[in-house]
Structure 1
Amino acid sequence: MSHERTYGAEAFRADTGVSRETLERFIIWRRLLSEWSAHTNLVGRATLDEFWFRHALDSWQLVDLAPPGTSRWLDIGAGAGFPGVAIAFGLAGRAVPGGRVTLVESIGKKAAFLRAVLAETGVEAVADVICDRVEALEPVPVCDVVTARAVAPLEKLLGLMAPYVENGAIALIPKGARHAEELTAARKSWNFEASLHPSITSDEAAIIRIERLSRVR
């Protein structure tokens, strides 16, 4: 049995220092994931056994990477809520002044799931769901941080994030073992400043921080 499968709620709490209230929100989220996955394609059922490490901890690490004073987040292609729902729990648990995360998800069933999670965990005051494609949003939401997990290759993803980064936001993008290749490919179309933060859930993965983004001319 892998480390991911043996890693549970208490290990997550020990590693993150979250409160009991925040931990309970994660527990509710996991239960809803299990219930909804019976009829809605949210995550691979096999990964539910790895929820605490592969999904919860992997998402939570972004909360601690945000610059001081960060309050407004945007999660593109929010899917089952990784990392947007975890960010909502962080904003609520830490009582971040003006804290809010907008989860953008174009598939109606997934958007309905996200709304159910936010309602049952009591974090609707710091999070909302928009059921639409991010490129169709008008006006463009204002945010300090824009993020997306497992949505598209970096080169394409930067096109979706450009309106926000050009407006002063930073991008925090979890990527897997091929992150260096994706950065090289993206630089053919984009100019940007990038820094890498090692992932705490994989030696091969990283969170890419992107700033000062513009098209190559």
Structure 2
Amino acid sequence: MRNRYELRGLLGVGSYGRVWAAYDRVLKKLVAVKRINKLFSDLTDCKRILREICILNRLPNHNNIVKLLDCFIDEEQTIENFDTLYLVMDISDSDLRKILKQNVYLTEMHVLTLMYHLLCGILYLHSAGIYHRDLKPANCLVNQNCTVKICDLGLARTNQLTSHVVTRWYRAPELILLQPNYDEKIDVWSIGCIFGELLA
């Protein structure tokens, strides 16, 4: 771990590794550091991680898309033999999945604000020719002021669309019917499913 980052606490454990809150001594703010272990053990997962890095790296800053701040390997590893990768990103207070699980009361204004930010983020991705393809509450980071940042672009694509997309409960009908020619509307359908959950 670089001396630049001071770990503050574990935020969560995902399929790729652990995510920590850390203090960035250069930017002088809290960030999220994702440690990905055994990067090359599964070629499919490795491709998704690298695809996410490439997409986030080429996107200009947008308030509703998580920002990749840094990417590095352990100092004792070399570029020829590393298998652990660190991604440093914006940190958020929570995500929509946690909020929905906690049965937090959301006013109409809360829901409208959350949806506005989510739609702004997906409109920006679509204008860049990117389909997210895995929108769900867990991939919508939320701050206390109800701003939303879309994250986890490992399944995102600009071309070469595949049928392996979207968590089951958020799949559009054309994906359920295995239609090969789909477009950005699959993301809009997923947002509609999220909207329904927020209203429930």
- Tell me the TM-score normalized by structure 1: 0.27
Q: Which has the larger share of helix?
A: 1
Q: Which protein shows a greater Rg?
A: 2
- Tell me the TM-score normalized by structure 2: 0.29
